[in-house]
Amino acid sequence: MKFFEKIKNNQTRTIKILGFSYTYDRNKFKRNKISVFAKIKNTKLLGGNKIDKNTKIFAKVKDGCIIGRGTDIGENNEIIASYPENKIIIGDNCCIGHDNIIVGGGNITIGNGALLASYIKILASNHNYSDISQPVKFQGNTSKDIIIGDNGWIGDNVIILAGVKIGNHCIIGGGSVVTKDIPSYSVAVGNPARIVKRYNFETKKWERC
């Protein structure tokens, strides 16, 4: 591997140095920092993104994954839109830690300014199991969309299941399993996750429920 390399065309200039590639778009004036050990396919980066080593971002069709401006994604993440009709959209200025799995059987949308820690699983499909005469692996999947709002914080080891909507500025405590919707400006913890605090706009404080 070359320690320093320049690649040019009419619109972009890519510089590879010390294991990272920097892409500068002359028209849009945006630069991405992508590890040469990252694997990205059918993904649209909106600019100013950092993608760390051993992260995989795959979609079945062009622009099936969209990563917003200024969003950083750490190492060893798997972000996969499983079917051609699925999309995974991550907003602007998000920060995603390491060793997370974000898999879309349904669509997954993560809002602007979201902070995701590490070892999180966001799973937009579940195995069917209603027919006890058949093994679960032969009964197919049910896919449902997942929506995570703006400016939230998802702690370590959280699991978010298919069909869940988490509102804006929510905090999900580490180790929680989110099986139901969480309204905006809430703190939820536990398995299954339950709301323990809400923000009171009159007192301007987080108050216990």
- Calpha distance 195→209 (Å, rounded): 7
**Predicted local confidence at residue 19, as pLDDT:** 57
pLDDT of 128-186, one tens digit each? 999 999 999 999 999 999 999 999 999 999 999 999 999 999 999 999 999 999 999 99
**Predicted local confidence at residue 22, as pLDDT:** 55
**Complete domains list, the chain, with CATH:** 1-36 (no CATH), 39-208 (2.160.10.10)
- Calpha distance 85→66 (Å, rounded): 14
Mean pLDDT of all residues in 11-30: 54
pLDDT at 11 over 80: no
Nearest to 115 by CA among 136, 135, 94: 94
71 with 52: CB under 8 angstroms? no
Q: Per the structure block, which two tokens stand in for 175? A: 């180790």
Mean pLDDT of all residues in 55-65: 95
Nearest to 126 by CA among 108, 144, 106, 142: 142
**Predicted local confidence at residue 1, as pLDDT:** 43
Please give the backbone phi and psi of residue 159, each rounded to the nearest 5 degrees, phi first.
-115, 125
Sign of CA dihedral 82, 159, 49, 112: positive
Regarding beta strands 115-116 and 194-200, do their DSSP bridges make them parallel or antiparallel, or are they unpaired?
A: unpaired
Task: Assess whether 169 carries a catalytic annotation.
Answer: no
pLDDT at 25 over 60: no
pLDDT at 4 over 80: no
**Predicted local confidence at residue 170, as pLDDT:** 98
- Calpha distance 177→179 (Å, rounded): 6
Share of the chain above pLDDT 90, in %: 81
- Calpha distance 169→17 (Å, rounded): 37
**Predicted local confidence at residue 21, as pLDDT:** 55
- Which entry of 26, 28, 39, 127 is annotated as an active-site residue? 127
pLDDT of 119-130, one tens digit each? 999 999 999 999
